[in-house]
Structure 1
């Protein structure tokens, strides 16, 4: 049976690997590339860990008001943002390691690929870098509140982007490697580190493409206003969601391989597998669909 999410699509139709439903809504979504694990936070305080085939491996029900997730690629540790100021750190079994509250509203969160560090940004505006044991190692003052954070794997550095503000790269001591002004409104950020590419969903400016030194290389243009972007680890595939509630599956050459109109159930979250063979879609109704091209 064809999923409702795929009823209005064109191009190379994907295989439906699994479809699951979370009636209380999907508040946040994270994908652990190396471990092939999917983490879902719902509106009723549930954290649910699934494998890429849709099997529910672990569930806990006491982590409330989650609206952001960071998950190590190994799935060893993760960090949930609860409410405006709360942090909940958990292990591979979703069991609590520590909790905390911070000054200011948390605007972004990220996990290092192997789980050694977390970063979170506040509207202070500051970025805090802490170890997975909660020891703070750096505090970075920024010009504007940072909305997007991403840990590098090869260089243990941090990429940060703020709307109408700085687009920056830092080391784990808080030293600025580069900082470039960003005049675009940024809806989302994705990094394909082995491909040396940073992608910014910049609404009316399309999906802007930069190298790891913040040099602009061009853009991807789709039919609509891009608000979300996700990509593979390599220079292979990317997914773009627009304000018009369409999703596009593209090659890195800019060719649209598949597209769907999801205005009947708009997407809230997307994620792409490391190799670019799977696309994870989470919709407003609480539908979680994993699609594959094999």
Structure 2
């Protein structure tokens, strides 16, 4: 009966929380520092860039973790992914396979991919911008630097950002020298050199008719011909910028902790002040939802009128945010954490969330699992919608929880009554029978200590590369022993074990990378490889 009372009290205490405002629907811990974050317009995939490139399903489930990219971009369907880091530029398929790779002459500093995956624009450290087709063909290279023979012209150009229109028809580039507008194939349409006081960000509407540019001094909006539509000064440098796909809303965030929303005519519709700099901002295609990340560790969700719908607290400064095109879902990240956010507002009833932690195995990495915490919302009324920029006002607080509250009270009453009847009329316990003397327990024998695995000694001595080589050799010996095949090449191992083909391909590629890398790998990387070996060893008959 005491348990029933405790359960009832807990239910009554928890129920008023209702929709659990501010709780993410899933969380993901990245294996390395997060450098960039991308969400496909339909919310089906999430791309996380950093020392390890991570591709997630829309519910936060890791699909694969491979390669490395400090800058990333994804096509709308998630089938084409672009990544760049240092001199390396690559285009990947959604299954992590490499479509093509290019070596740049100078370090990559900015990157953008069109929504259909057919246009890729990359800027390097010296100020050149390169335009590629989907097959890796270089269509054009343009130079944003000044004339080296003109003593009054600033020659150096540091590109800060690149933005493309919906299908890559137009490309906007902002640098320390000004704003440049090109076609998707690299033909210059117009430039505004010297008009910016330290360009920081650029954004383009879906049609390319609106071009927003930010600087240390404020925000400007231009049309497709380069004509200036309006200017709004800022007291501190602007650090975040976004334009809705239809061009009706411009969002800017600055170092004065202020987030501002403008209409197409430059009128301020609403503002919000956080406790730290606004680091990033995203807006749905019609401006009905806005998501902003701040250095105060908060991700803030708004409707189109600036009403704060939710605040989400992360482990650190929120450096990246993204929204789906319809504004029904979003993501936000701190240095190593990514959260999923549901932005919909129920029409008439709340939802009952259920939380479950599920170990997820990373494809291609046998034996390694990650825990993705998911909160699944179970709707109790009509499906929500966000098509209207004006959020649907919720009903009176707690009204939708009344039926559930009554059901819980009824359950508690039944439990209390059942406990009382059980206690009142339960039969007397039978007399205790004499216990037979217990038999003597068999002597405990010491278990044999398992022999150390060949690579463990090398790993303990700090010889990580040697351990990776030993793991590779051990796998070859194991395959030859269990299958009778002669393994001279990786292809021989894959042919001998067709059921483990994908896992073995990853294993040998990773072992070679760790064993022969210029710099010794981390111990954790070799331990992951060892775990994959043990898992594959169990599978290979």
Shared fold, TM over 0.5: yes
| Superposition TM-score tier, normalisation by shorter sequence | 0.7 to 0.9
**Residue equivalent to 2:128:** 86
1:279 equivalent in alignment to 2:330? yes
Distance in 2 (alpha carbons) for counterparts of 1:282 and 1:42: 20
From the superposition, tell whether residues 56 and 291 of structure 1 become closer, same or farther in structure 2 (CA, over 3 Å): farther
1:269 equivalent in alignment to 2:320? yes
CA deviations on 1:238-277 (whole Å, 9 max, x unpaired) are 22221134333444443343513132xx555332221223
From the superposition, tell whether residues 204 and 180 of structure 1 become closer, same or farther in structure 2 (CA, over 3 Å): closer
**Residue equivalent to 1:220:** 272
Distance in 2 (alpha carbons) for counterparts of 1:39 and 1:154: 22
Cα distance, 1:76 vs. partner? 2.3
1:254 equivalent in alignment to 2:307? yes
Calculate the TM-score normalised by the size of structure 2: 0.45
The runs of 5 or more residues in structure 1 that have no matched partner are: 1-8
| Bigger fraction of residues in helix | 2
Conservation of the 8 A alpha-carbon contact between 1:121 and 1:145: no
Residue 25 of structure 2 is aligned with which of 14, 22, 46? 14
**Residue equivalent to 2:73:** 30
From the superposition, tell whether residues 39 and 246 of structure 1 become closer, same or farther in structure 2 (CA, over 3 Å): farther
Distance in 2 (alpha carbons) for counterparts of 1:112 and 1:224: 30
| Between 79-88 and 38-47, the greater mean CA deviation after superposition | 38-47
Higher relative contact order (CA 8 A, sep 6+): 1
Calculate the TM-score normalised by the size of structure 1: 0.77
Residue 242 of structure 2 is aligned with which of 187, 190, 203? 190
**Residue equivalent to 2:371:** none
Cα distance, 1:219 vs. partner? 1.1
Distance in 2 (alpha carbons) for counterparts of 1:48 and 1:10: 39
Conservation of the 8 A alpha-carbon contact between 2:142 and 2:186: no
1:208 equivalent in alignment to 2:219? no
From the superposition, tell whether residues 181 and 271 of structure 1 become closer, same or farther in structure 2 (CA, over 3 Å): same
Conservation of the 8 A alpha-carbon contact between 1:32 and 1:73: yes
Distance in 2 (alpha carbons) for counterparts of 1:183 and 1:37: 42
Distance in 1 (alpha carbons) for counterparts of 2:307 and 2:66: 33
1:153 equivalent in alignment to 2:206? yes
Residue 102 of structure 2 is aligned with which of 58, 62, 69? 62
Cα distance, 1:43 vs. partner? 2.9
The runs of 5 or more residues in structure 2 that have no matched partner are: 1-19, 27-58, 146-156, 343-376, 378-541
From the superposition, tell whether residues 38 and 143 of structure 1 become closer, same or farther in structure 2 (CA, over 3 Å): same
| Bigger fraction of residues in strand | 1
What is the RMSD computed on CA atoms of the aligned residues? 3.3
Conservation of the 8 A alpha-carbon contact between 1:31 and 1:271: no
Cα distance, 1:282 vs. partner? 5.8
Alignment of 1:114-193 (within 5 A): 114-124=167-177, 126-141=178-193, 142-154=195-207, 156-165=209-218, 167-193=219-245
Conservation of the 8 A alpha-carbon contact between 1:29 and 1:269: no
Q: What is the total number of aligned residue pairs between the two structures? A: 275
Conservation of the 8 A alpha-carbon contact between 2:293 and 2:332: no
**Residue equivalent to 2:350:** none
Indicate the SS of the match to 2:102. coil
From the superposition, tell whether residues 154 and 50 of structure 1 become closer, same or farther in structure 2 (CA, over 3 Å): same
Indicate the SS of the match to 2:256. helix
Distance in 2 (alpha carbons) for counterparts of 1:284 and 1:42: 19
Cα distance, 1:27 vs. partner? 2.0
Distance in 2 (alpha carbons) for counterparts of 1:59 and 1:249: 37
Q: Larger Rg: 1 or 2?
A: 2
